[in-house]
Structure 1
Amino acid sequence: MSIPVVDFGASSLNEENVADEQIHNLSKELESALTGVGFVFLQNSGITQEEVDRVMAISKTFLLQPDEEKQPFSRKSIANNPNHGWVRLEIERLNPNRPEDLKESFNVTSLNPDIKWPSGAAKGFREIQTSFFRRCTELGLRVLRVMALSLGLDPEVFLSAHTLIGNEGNCTTLRSLYYPSVNHEKVKEGQLRCGEHSDYGSITLLFSSSGGLQVQSRSGEFVCVPHVPGAVLLNVADLMQRWTSDRFVSVVHRVLLPPVGDSSTRQSLAFFIQPDDEALITCCDGSSKYPPVTGGGYLNERFKASYGQN
């Protein structure tokens, strides 16, 4: 299995007026990738490598600070935005059957101007993160529109359930992830940088600094995902699979430990696009293959499994 590559130029952030024929061709390519593999590289999305590098640089500045400097911005410390903030190393367990993941992160879930943001050493953190959040939002909405068209649906079918991104009532999250170097002598049995899991919401946009990600094929084998500078890695998440009655497939993936003797670190930016909390997700083909569920209700159940009592 290989990850398909699709030129998204026809609907990129740099395009305003696109011919119907171009969008039709793009939608068919995207449909083939997301029904067959569930992952696809988007080239010419309009988001540049320079933008990605800028967010990674400021994120790393914050995440390399001592824990006591990051503690005031911890996840669940911000009223009305429980997923916003810093997640320390070894607190999350995306595969409940493995030890805690060897990664830490900062989640941007809300653009509310009243939220306290890191400053100090991470000068410009808020501006850089929120600007990238908005760019990813625009790209994600364009992707959702093309995905709806690829299934012969009204383009508003998915868009109408994502009207509150960046505000209360929607948990779409820009997650800046940092995987520190690994001391293999201290690693717990079965521990990974990120355990096997599928994503929770509609779709995910991923930008990474290096390899390490593996995707599970239909046969159950894990396949290494190449690093493609400048491209966005898009994958289907669980609610979208339910929404489309399994037309689009949400695929299990993981991040391995580096080999013994490899002291390299890893960074990635994941933009998890989530339906509005109150959006009711029902099978868009009119079937009852999956029972209705709200975006927020489904997400909360998945968070319970990932974080346990934390």
Structure 2
Amino acid sequence: MSIPVVDFGAFSLSEADVAEEQMLDLSKELESAFSGIGFVFLQNTGITQEEVDRVMAIFKTFFLQPEKEKRPFSRKSFAVSPNHGWVRLELERLNPHRPEDLKESFNVTSLHPDIKWPSGAAKGFQEIQASFFQRCKELSLRVLRVMALGLGLDPEVFLSAHRFLGTEGNSSTLRSLYYPAVNHEKVKEGQLRCGEHSDYGSITLLFCSSAGLQVQSRSGEFICVSFVPGAVLVNVADLMQRWTSDHLVSVVHRVVLPPAGDPSTRQSLAFFVQPDDEALITCCDGSDKYPPVTGGDYLEERIKASYGQN
């Protein structure tokens, strides 16, 4: 199994218009990838590797600070957006049957003016994150438009459920993940950098700095994903699978430990695209394969499970 690489240049962020024939070609390629493997690499999206490196660099500056400097920005510290903020090492457990994940993260879920942002060593943090969030938002909406076309749907079926992306009515999240060097002598049995899981919402954009990600094939085998510099890895998430009555597939994936003796760290950026909190997700083929659910209710249940609250 290999993840296809698709040239998205015809509909990149630098293109205002795109020919209908090019859109159709793109839509067929995405539909094939998302219905078969659930993942695709998009090249020439308009988001450059330099942009990604800039965001990763400012996040790494934050993560490498002492914990006392990060604690004031902890998740659940912001009433306007409870999922916004820093998540310490070994707090999440994405696979409930394994020990806690060996990662820390920072969730940008709100651009509200009342949010307090890191400064000091992480100078420019707010401006860099807000700008990259908007770039990811724009690309996500373009991908959703192409996906709808590939399914023979009016683009508004997806776009109208993401009208509040980037505002308080939508819980989409730009998450930076930092995987520190691993001391194999202290690792718990079965512990991973990130346990097996599928994503929760519509789609995910993933920007990686190195290898380590594995994707589960239909036979149940985990396949290593190659690092493709400059490309965006896009995958279908659980609500999109429900939305399309299992035509598009949300696939389990994980991040494994580096080999013993390998002191390397790992970084990634994930833009988790969620439908609006009040958007009602029903099967777009008119079936009742899955019951209707709002974007907000579904996300809340999945987040609770990640933190052992169910």
How do residues 1-310 of structure 1 correspond to structure 2 at under 5 angstroms? 1-309=1-309
Q: Tell me the distance in 2 between the aligned counterparts of 1:201 and 1:151.
A: 18
Q: Tell me the distance in 2 between the aligned counterparts of 1:293 and 1:11.
A: 31
Amino acid of the structure 1 residue aligned with 2:81: N
Deviations 1:203-258 (Å, cap 9, x if unpaired)?
00000000000000000000000000000000000000000001110000000000
SS of 1:260's partner is: coil
Deviations 1:2-55 (Å, cap 9, x if unpaired)?
001111111110111111000001100110000010000000100000000000
Q: Tell me the distance in 2 between the aligned counterparts of 1:309 and 1:297.
A: 15
Amino acid of the structure 2 residue aligned with 1:57: A
SS of 2:162's partner is: coil
Amino acid of the structure 2 residue aligned with 1:218: R
Amino acid of the structure 2 residue aligned with 1:234: V
RMSD over aligned Cα atoms:
0.8
Cα deviation, residue 164, structure 1: 1.1
Q: Tell me the distance in 2 between the aligned counterparts of 1:220 and 1:43.
A: 28
Q: Tell me the distance in 2 between the aligned counterparts of 1:13 and 1:70.
A: 34
Deviations 1:58-77 (Å, cap 9, x if unpaired)?
00000110111011100011
Give unpaired runs (5+ residues) of structure 1. none
Q: Tell me the distance in 1 between the aligned counterparts of 2:304 and 2:83.
A: 12
Amino acid of the structure 2 residue aligned with 1:213: L
Q: Tell me the distance in 2 between the aligned counterparts of 1:132 and 1:162.
A: 18
Q: Tell me the distance in 1 between the aligned counterparts of 2:136 and 2:143.
A: 10
Q: Tell me the distance in 2 between the aligned counterparts of 1:7 and 1:156.
A: 24
Cα deviation, residue 175, structure 1: 0.3
Cα deviation, residue 165, structure 1: 1.4
Q: Tell me the distance in 1 between the aligned counterparts of 2:7 and 2:108.
A: 28
Q: Tell me the distance in 1 between the aligned counterparts of 2:206 and 2:251.
A: 14
- TM-score normalised by the chain length of structure 2: 0.99
Deviations 1:249-279 (Å, cap 9, x if unpaired)?
0000000000000010000000000001110
- TM-score normalised by the chain length of structure 1: 0.99
Cα deviation, residue 114, structure 1: 1.4
Amino acid of the structure 2 residue aligned with 1:166: G
Cα deviation, residue 309, structure 1: 4.1
Give unpaired runs (5+ residues) of structure 2. none
Deviations 1:95-115 (Å, cap 9, x if unpaired)?
011000000011000111111
Q: Tell me the distance in 2 between the aligned counterparts of 1:84 and 1:167.
A: 13
Aligned length: 310
SS of 2:284's partner is: coil
Q: Tell me the distance in 2 between the aligned counterparts of 1:135 and 1:11.
A: 14
Q: Tell me the distance in 1 between the aligned counterparts of 2:17 and 2:297.
A: 37
Q: Tell me the distance in 2 between the aligned counterparts of 1:158 and 1:37.
A: 21
Runs of 4+ in 1 over 3 A off after TM superposition: none
SS of 1:158's partner is: helix
Deviations 1:132-187 (Å, cap 9, x if unpaired)?
00000000000000000000000111010011112112110000110000000000
